[in-house]
Structure 1
Amino acid sequence: MKGLVLSGGSGTRLRPITHTSAKQLVPVANRPVLFYGLESIAEAGITEVGIVVGETAAEIREAVGDGSRFGLDVTYIEQEKPLGLAHGVLLAREFLGDDDFTMYLGDNFIVDGIKPFVDEFRESRPDAQILLTRVMDPRAFGVAELGSDGQVVGLQEKPEFPKSDLALVGVYFFTPAIHEAVRRLKPSGRGELEITDAIQSLIDDGRTIGSAEITGYWKDTGNVSDMLEVNRQVLEGVEPLMEGSVDEASEIIGRVTVGRGTVVRNCRIIGPAVIGADCELTDTYIGPFTSVADGCRIVSSEIEFSIVLGEASVEGVDRVQSSLIGRRATVSGTRRVPNSNRLVLGDHSSVHIQV
């Protein structure tokens, strides 16, 4: 069985961050979200993985390399334009050959991994198997309709009037039967080759489509709110680790990681929180569910429930929360009546906050 990871999307919902960075490489607890997916695939016993890459191919190649750090053998598959999930399968035909495979969307996060679902698919081996989860507003997702026997009888892609609240999670399992279904697809109204249409074609042909409902935690990290929520979820499991320098005037409460080479002076840090390597924190409060990447400088500021990317600088800002601050971004301010600032800043941004 092989793995196919789709990492070619442009990440429009995470802009301006994704103007200069692949959405799959935005970090969760200081590790790219893509890495969690690759580790899940490896833990399921899959070693051969094709990664479909687009305009951010160079960045993803540099981050993932040959895959050996994850126990994988990675092949890169170029996609000039993101023309739908089924288009990724079409491009990967030579790599996949006649093997069964799992298709994993590179910006999805499943906290408990996919090994139980891989094992189930290998044992029962339907022509395709989908993962489902119940959502409040299914109109934003692919939606599955199940029959009275629990079998999948129909699929809809972002329907205006959904027939159920069961949304397709971004992980699929296929036998080679999917290739013929993909080959005969025509672009949808969105101009894309929809994987839901391909699976519906299998249903129409009388093929067996299995399903399993995820009861644990799943998120599509395609927007800032979901990214912050996934960061919170991962930080819940962080273990305390002190590799940097923390002075006697500082207070560390709860599960906090401080990376090597980081200097903390007169700060209060309440976990769960992760502080990367080679950071400088002075006269600062870091609240729960915050991750600060390597090389950041934070002075006389308060940050909570936020993600701060590498080499960013925050100085003199009374309160930042629910924010995603890009690489090498600069945020500065003057002291004033305590208030809150919510920021989504692209890489190399410069912001001065003043009243």
Structure 2
Amino acid sequence: MPSLSKGVLLAAGLGTRLVPYSKEMPKEMLPVFFGVNNSVYLKPVIQAVFEQFYEAGIREFCFVVGRGKRVIEDHFTPDWDFVEYLEKTGKNDYAELLRDFYEKVEKSYITWVNQPVPRGTGHAVYMAKGFVGDDYFMAAATDNLFLGENIPRRLLEYFDRLRSPMLAVKRVRDPRRYGVVIGSRVDTSIYRVEGIVEKPREPLSYLANTSLYIFPPEIFRAIEQTTPSPRGELEVTDSIQILIRSGYQFYAYEAEADWIDIGTWETFLRAALVSLKHALGADKLSEILSELGIGAGKP
């Protein structure tokens, strides 16, 4: 089995729970905080996911985008004139951040695939079939992000060891909001996946699916066999179930890193606070919140 070098980044959702912002601006372009050299900067979530894939060794990318996603393509088009302007005006820190990002983009092969109508995560993954070919590949929803550790890189490390399809999970308090993974522990952080249940009424498991996967090329055949869910979409978790029933062994890695998503204003607020905690430190964040008269809590 060759080493994995292809990544599929899913950014075709409409983000209806973030209207009116998401009417023209993709939710994947919402910013989170990052600390660099004792300073704090803002970075779009989709850029952060791309950079984690890149740092994990991925060099070939397929972005699956939808209506109104031209702004993402523009963001991933290097603008060296703007970098030069920043340098001339003394904004060297910002210039260096953009330079680092643009160099990663230029060292990567990037293709764009349009999903004109959102038909679920399974269909979005299927749109990358021509790009993937017969290779294993990593895929991720780009409105989710791990902070504090490069979980895509860790997932690849386990893939190299186990040579099986993988997914990343995070232990949560209320599993009813997520698709949850049912499995048996085989190592400290590794589970043998027995099934995935979407938003269970009862807590069958506390391991939430985080929409970060390593798929075999056979996932496309499984998607072709997948029937639409009650909401009329092809769910990639149903396709995973088909592969498991046909004899494919999936493993789940339980991540300890903070996991954020930006699907609603509440989760975006939490994402901002958690990312600011990582960028500034918990004490500084508590100090800022205290100055604003807000209880710091534990984001």
Q: 2:104 aligns with which of 57, 60, 70?
A: 70
- SS in structure 2 of the partner of residue 203 of structure 1: helix
Give the partner amino acid of 2:180.
V
Q: Give aligned-pair identity as a percent.
A: 33
- Is 1:17 the equivalent of 2:21? yes
1:272 is displaced (CA, Å) by 5.3
2:130 corresponds to: 94
Residue 120 of structure 2 corresponds to which residue in structure 1? 84
Per-residue CA deviation, residues 57-83 of structure 1 (Å, 9 max, x unaligned), is 211111122785434321111001111
* TM-aligned CA distance change 1:201 to 1:162, over 3 Å: farther
Shift of 1:160: 2.7
Aligned mate of 2:163, from 109, 125, 131: 125
Q: Deviation per CA, 1:131-188: give whole Å up to 9, x if none.
A: 1111122122111111365421111122333411111012011111212111211111
Aligned mate of 1:144, from 181, 188, 199 = 181
| Structure 1, unaligned runs of 5 or more | 240-253, 256-269, 274-286, 290-301, 306-320, 322-355
Match of 2:58 among 32, 46, 52: 46
Q: AA paired with 1:143? A: V
CA distance in 1, matches of 2:17, 2:47: 20
Q: 2:82 maps to which residue? A: none
* TM-score of the pair, normalised by structure 2: 0.77
> Counterpart of 2:193 in structure 1: which amino acid?
V
Amino acid at match of 1:70: K
Amino acid at match of 1:90: Y
Mapped partners of 1:41, 1:139: distance in 2:
29
User: 1:329-355: CA deviations, max 9, x gaps?
Assistant: xxxxxxxxxxxxxxxxxxxxxxxxxxx
Q: Are the equivalent residues in 2 in contact too, given 1:238–1:272 (CA < 8 A)?
A: no
On the 8 A contact 2:261/2:271 being kept in 1, the answer is: no
Deviation at 1:53, TM superposition (A): 0.4
User: 5 Å matches for 1:175-190?
Assistant: 175-190=216-231
- 2:208 pairs with one of 158, 163, 167: 167
Tell me, yes or no, if structure 1 residue 3 matches structure 2 residue 37: no
Structure with bigger strand share is 1
Counterpart residue type for residue 225 of structure 1: E
CA distance in 2, matches of 1:65, 1:139: 39
Greater RCO structure (CA 8 Å; 6+ sep): 2
TM-score, structure 1 as length reference: 0.65
Q: Which has the higher Rg, Structure 1 or Structure 2?
A: 1
When residues 272 and 145 of structure 1 are mapped into structure 2, their CA distance, relative to the original with a 3 A threshold, is closer
Measure, in 1, the Cα distance between the counterparts of 2:104 and 2:145. 16
Moved more, 63-72 or 173-182: 63-72
SS of the residue corresponding to residue 72 of structure 2 reads helix
The number of equivalent residue pairs is 253
Gapped runs of 5+ residues in structure 2? 34-41, 79-100
State the Cα deviation string for residues 290-317 of structure 1 (Å, max 9, x = none).
Answer: xxxxxxxxxxxx9788xxxxxxxxxxxx
